[in-house]
Structure 1
Amino acid sequence: MMNPEQVQALLEAGIEGARATVQGGGDRFEILVVAETFEGMSKVRRQQQVYACINEQIASGNIHAVTIHTYTPAEWDKAQRMGIA
Protein backbone atom coordinates (compact mmCIF):
# COMPACT_ATOMS: atom_id res chain seq x y z
CA MET A 1 0.00 0.00 0.00
CA MET A 2 1.06 3.56 -0.64
CA ASN A 3 0.43 6.85 1.07
CA PRO A 4 -0.40 10.14 -0.69
CA GLU A 5 3.10 11.54 -0.11
CA GLN A 6 4.68 8.60 -1.94
CA VAL A 7 2.38 9.05 -4.93
CA GLN A 8 3.05 12.80 -4.92
CA ALA A 9 6.80 12.18 -4.97
CA LEU A 10 6.49 9.84 -7.97
CA LEU A 11 4.46 12.42 -9.90
CA GLU A 12 6.68 15.38 -9.11
CA ALA A 13 9.79 13.37 -10.01
CA GLY A 14 8.28 12.14 -13.27
CA ILE A 15 6.66 15.30 -14.65
CA GLU A 16 8.96 18.27 -15.08
CA GLY A 17 7.98 21.24 -12.93
CA ALA A 18 4.82 19.55 -11.65
CA ARG A 19 3.03 20.43 -8.45
CA ALA A 20 0.97 17.46 -7.34
CA THR A 21 -1.67 17.12 -4.67
CA VAL A 22 -2.75 13.60 -3.78
CA GLN A 23 -5.61 12.55 -1.51
CA GLY A 24 -6.75 9.12 -0.48
CA GLY A 25 -4.88 6.12 0.74
CA GLY A 26 -4.49 2.41 0.58
CA ASP A 27 -4.86 1.69 -3.10
CA ARG A 28 -7.24 4.52 -4.16
CA PHE A 29 -6.16 8.08 -4.83
CA GLU A 30 -7.41 11.38 -6.21
CA ILE A 31 -4.60 13.11 -8.07
CA LEU A 32 -4.31 16.76 -9.04
CA VAL A 33 -1.32 17.80 -11.12
CA VAL A 34 -0.50 21.33 -12.25
CA ALA A 35 2.34 21.57 -14.76
CA GLU A 36 3.44 23.98 -17.46
CA THR A 37 4.43 20.97 -19.57
CA PHE A 38 0.71 20.18 -20.07
CA GLU A 39 0.35 23.28 -22.28
CA GLY A 40 -0.97 22.22 -25.69
CA MET A 41 -1.57 18.59 -24.64
CA SER A 42 -4.91 16.82 -24.93
CA LYS A 43 -6.55 15.51 -21.77
CA VAL A 44 -5.68 11.98 -22.84
CA ARG A 45 -1.99 12.85 -23.31
CA ARG A 46 -1.90 14.55 -19.91
CA GLN A 47 -3.38 11.47 -18.26
CA GLN A 48 -0.85 9.29 -20.07
CA GLN A 49 1.92 11.41 -18.53
CA VAL A 50 0.45 10.85 -15.07
CA TYR A 51 -0.02 7.12 -15.62
CA ALA A 52 3.57 6.82 -16.84
CA CYS A 53 4.70 7.94 -13.37
CA ILE A 54 2.58 5.41 -11.49
CA ASN A 55 2.24 2.43 -13.88
CA GLU A 56 4.71 0.34 -11.92
CA GLN A 57 2.64 0.84 -8.77
CA ILE A 58 -0.57 -0.01 -10.62
CA ALA A 59 0.98 -3.16 -12.10
CA SER A 60 2.16 -4.28 -8.65
CA GLY A 61 -1.28 -3.71 -7.12
CA ASN A 62 -0.11 -0.93 -4.79
CA ILE A 63 -2.47 1.43 -6.61
CA HIS A 64 -5.84 0.14 -7.76
CA ALA A 65 -7.90 3.20 -8.67
CA VAL A 66 -7.12 6.82 -9.44
CA THR A 67 -9.05 9.91 -10.35
CA ILE A 68 -6.86 12.35 -12.27
CA HIS A 69 -7.24 16.11 -12.71
CA THR A 70 -4.62 17.96 -14.76
CA TYR A 71 -4.14 21.67 -15.37
CA THR A 72 -1.61 24.10 -16.72
CA PRO A 73 -0.84 26.88 -14.21
CA ALA A 74 -3.09 29.29 -16.17
CA GLU A 75 -5.95 26.77 -16.26
CA TRP A 76 -5.53 26.13 -12.53
CA ASP A 77 -5.65 29.85 -11.72
CA LYS A 78 -8.81 30.24 -13.81
CA ALA A 79 -10.45 27.17 -12.22
CA GLN A 80 -9.75 28.53 -8.74
CA ARG A 81 -11.15 31.97 -9.63
CA MET A 82 -14.30 30.34 -10.99
CA GLY A 83 -14.64 28.15 -7.91
CA ILE A 84 -14.29 24.94 -9.93
CA ALA A 85 -11.19 23.72 -8.13
Structure 2
Amino acid sequence: MAMAADEIEALIRAAIPDATVEITDLAGDGDHYAAHVTSESFRGKTRIAQQRAVYDALGGRMGGVLHALQLTTAVPN
Protein backbone atom coordinates (compact mmCIF):
# COMPACT_ATOMS: atom_id res chain seq x y z
CA MET A 1 0.00 0.00 0.00
CA ALA A 2 1.43 3.34 -1.06
CA MET A 3 1.53 6.55 0.94
CA ALA A 4 0.53 9.92 -0.55
CA ALA A 5 3.02 12.81 -0.57
CA ASP A 6 0.54 15.10 1.18
CA GLU A 7 0.19 12.56 4.00
CA ILE A 8 3.96 12.49 4.49
CA GLU A 9 4.03 16.29 4.55
CA ALA A 10 1.15 16.47 7.04
CA LEU A 11 2.84 14.01 9.43
CA ILE A 12 6.09 15.98 9.35
CA ARG A 13 4.35 19.34 9.83
CA ALA A 14 2.30 17.97 12.73
CA ALA A 15 5.49 16.97 14.58
CA ILE A 16 7.65 19.89 13.41
CA PRO A 17 5.20 22.81 13.01
CA ASP A 18 7.71 25.38 11.71
CA ALA A 19 9.04 23.02 9.02
CA THR A 20 9.17 23.85 5.35
CA VAL A 21 8.60 20.51 3.62
CA GLU A 22 9.16 19.65 -0.05
CA ILE A 23 8.19 16.13 -1.14
CA THR A 24 9.09 14.64 -4.52
CA ASP A 25 7.78 11.29 -5.79
CA LEU A 26 10.95 9.83 -7.28
CA ALA A 27 9.47 6.86 -9.14
CA GLY A 28 5.84 7.88 -9.62
CA ASP A 29 4.74 4.84 -7.62
CA GLY A 30 3.92 6.38 -4.24
CA ASP A 31 6.62 4.25 -2.59
CA HIS A 32 9.86 6.14 -3.31
CA TYR A 33 10.06 9.76 -2.18
CA ALA A 34 12.60 12.48 -1.56
CA ALA A 35 11.92 14.96 1.22
CA HIS A 36 13.69 18.23 1.94
CA VAL A 37 12.79 19.48 5.42
CA THR A 38 13.97 22.84 6.76
CA SER A 39 13.31 23.84 10.36
CA GLU A 40 14.69 26.25 12.93
CA SER A 41 14.25 23.46 15.47
CA PHE A 42 17.16 21.66 13.77
CA ARG A 43 19.62 24.42 14.72
CA GLY A 44 22.43 23.04 16.88
CA LYS A 45 21.44 19.43 16.23
CA THR A 46 23.56 16.93 14.36
CA ARG A 47 22.39 15.82 10.93
CA ILE A 48 21.53 12.43 12.45
CA ALA A 49 19.38 14.07 15.16
CA GLN A 50 17.63 16.19 12.51
CA GLN A 51 16.83 13.16 10.40
CA ARG A 52 15.76 11.13 13.43
CA ALA A 53 13.22 13.87 14.25
CA VAL A 54 11.74 13.52 10.76
CA TYR A 55 11.65 9.72 10.91
CA ASP A 56 10.03 9.91 14.36
CA ALA A 57 7.38 12.19 12.85
CA LEU A 58 6.51 9.42 10.39
CA GLY A 59 5.52 7.20 13.29
CA GLY A 60 7.07 3.92 12.21
CA ARG A 61 5.74 4.02 8.65
CA MET A 62 9.24 3.68 7.14
CA GLY A 63 9.73 0.22 5.70
CA GLY A 64 5.98 -0.42 5.81
CA VAL A 65 3.58 1.86 3.95
CA LEU A 66 6.50 4.13 3.08
CA HIS A 67 9.10 2.02 1.33
CA ALA A 68 11.89 4.56 0.70
CA LEU A 69 12.59 8.16 1.66
CA GLN A 70 15.64 10.07 0.49
CA LEU A 71 15.88 12.67 3.26
CA THR A 72 17.66 16.02 3.34
CA THR A 73 17.39 18.30 6.36
CA ALA A 74 18.53 21.88 6.84
CA VAL A 75 18.37 24.93 9.07
CA PRO A 76 16.95 28.14 7.53
CA ASN A 77 19.51 30.72 6.40
Smaller-chain TM-score range? 0.7 to 0.9
Residue 68 of structure 1 is matched in structure 2 by 71
Residue 48 of structure 1 is matched in structure 2 by 52
Q: TM-score, normalised by structure 1?
A: 0.78
Runs of 4 or more consecutive aligned structure 1 residues displaced over 2 Å after TM superposition: none
Q: Which runs of 5+ in 2 are unaligned?
A: none
Larger Rg belongs to: 1
Deviation by residue 1:6-63 (Cα, 9 ceiling, x = unmatched): 101111111131111111152211011010000000000001001001142225x110
> More deviation in 43-52 or 7-16?
7-16
* Percent identity of equivalent pairs: 27
Residue 81 of structure 1 is matched in structure 2 by none
In 1: Cα distance, 2:47 partner to 2:62 partner: 20
CA-atom RMSD in angstroms: 1.3
Q: Which runs of 5+ in 1 are unaligned?
A: 75-85
In terms of fraction of residues, the more helix-rich structure is 1
